[in-house]
Chain A
């Protein structure tokens, strides 16, 4: 049984139409699953539906066989699903350190939280350096590091990251993916949404293509990378910016 399961999930915003039109997906424990797909496919909506930020209208989201639908976002976080949105969602007027304290809002044990904050400050020296500065003064890469540090404080069972490379220089993107790889190596399950499909799939074991609110394909990441049809449809037009749409 997969750790996180989506079964025919329908979801949308307010009273608008369904954006997710019946997604079924299995996310295996301890692996990284990368979701790719064109703009507006519903990738972010899917992650928001999983954590309860968007209401699931029908179908089921399950963690370890237990239903998550209708739980509040804080309750879903308590079950061990942590979401890092594309905009990074730091608290702009709080210091880096306060942001880390806020990250541990769901941790009641003060000593544990303190030691985890110390740990991430050691892991991310750049955050330690700027710990008393306001989060809004950080660069994009530093902000992404701060949100990943926040996730590490929570130690979720499933970490969902929405387009971590958004707006980052290639070199910084590389560092961000290294951190995510490091998380996975500790046994954390990662669900990754990535515009840079090649990069995302290369760092994943499983891949999934979403289009028009439903899953089109899924399979081992390397077979998706090698699949000429998917290449043509979803990878070719954004292949790393070097335009190599037709290698085979």
Chain B
């Protein structure tokens, strides 16, 4: 395949990966929570989009106005009911790994009992369309997904850099105690960050619903890929997640072209391994944070 063509495909998907990874790295940044249920929440979002599409004919891109807020609420509840209670535990981060993995499997089980374990996807007209540019083509669905991701990430960025709660979230990500000292109610800010993080998983699910096929267990392959992205970018770094996502996705696109489709996931793990050997703190991480 043409180099330019491969690059286009890699970048378009990379934008969507960046959206998926941002919520995950944000929760780690704010609370040192490794949310292994993040991808399961994406799948929940995808199923919501699927039902809305199947039963009401609602476009998956439009379904983001449902999946985002719905999962936002789930994130806030999750914080209030679960994480807040164990936040003072000295083994907090280890506990969250087990808890969220359990949660992911529970979500998988519930989805399985509702939808059966067969592949689903939404099929809006643009999902299979292409825009022909002579020597290269742009898949319409991926282009829309990329644009939607960039718009959402830009909105998130503006929120984080230009609003008071945004400042507070960034401050809490950088130093939780220092944030408390300047008067941030870190409890409320953590609840908000959880809502946003899980809400981002929800909107990513809407995109996933037509870009990929999914079944209740597909969160497992996704979480592996997303962890690779955020670890490469530096855990808790939003910029790192973005660069990591685009970069790895580009490399994966070339690897698939050269080495075959099984490299679509393998690339991420190999790159994760190589990058951590060279730079254990990730590309954007500070040495002491890992």
Contact = CB atoms under 8 A, between A and B. Distances in A.
Interface of A: 14, 51, 53, 72-74, 77-78, 82-85, 89-94, 98, 101-103, 105-106, 150
A109 to B, nearest CB: 13
Nearest to A101: B167
Contact of A89 (B168, B181, B187, B286): B181
Interface string B278-290: 0000000010000
Contact of B182 (A53, A72, A92, A150): A150
Given A78-B183, A103-B182, A85 B177 contact: yes
Contacts of B183: 73-74, 77-78, 105-106
Interface residues of B, number: 20
A95 to B, nearest CB: 11
A106 B179 CA distance: 11
Contacts of A105: 164, 167-168, 171, 182-184
B170 A94 contact: yes
Given A14-B90, A74-B183, A89-B181, 5 more contacts: A78-B183, A89-B177, A103-B182, A105-B182, A105-B183
Contact of A94 (B174, B181, B184, B286): B174
B175 interface: yes
B180 A91 contact: no
A97 B174 CA distance: 16
A14 B177 CA distance: 15
Given A74-B183, A78-B183, A98 B175 contact: no
B82 interface: no
Given A102-B167, A102-B171, A105-B168, A77 B182 contact: yes
Nearest to B237: A93
Contact of B185 (A72, A85, A89, A90): A72
Contacts of B286: 92
Interface in B175-211: 175, 177-185, 187
B180 A53 contact: yes
Contacts of B182: 77, 102-103, 105-106, 150
A150 B182 CA distance: 9
A98 B20 CA distance: 28
15 contacts: A51-B181, A53-B180, A74-B180, A74-B183, A77-B181, A77-B182, A77-B183, A84-B181, A85-B178, A90-B178, A91-B179, A92-B174, A102-B171, A102-B179, A105-B182
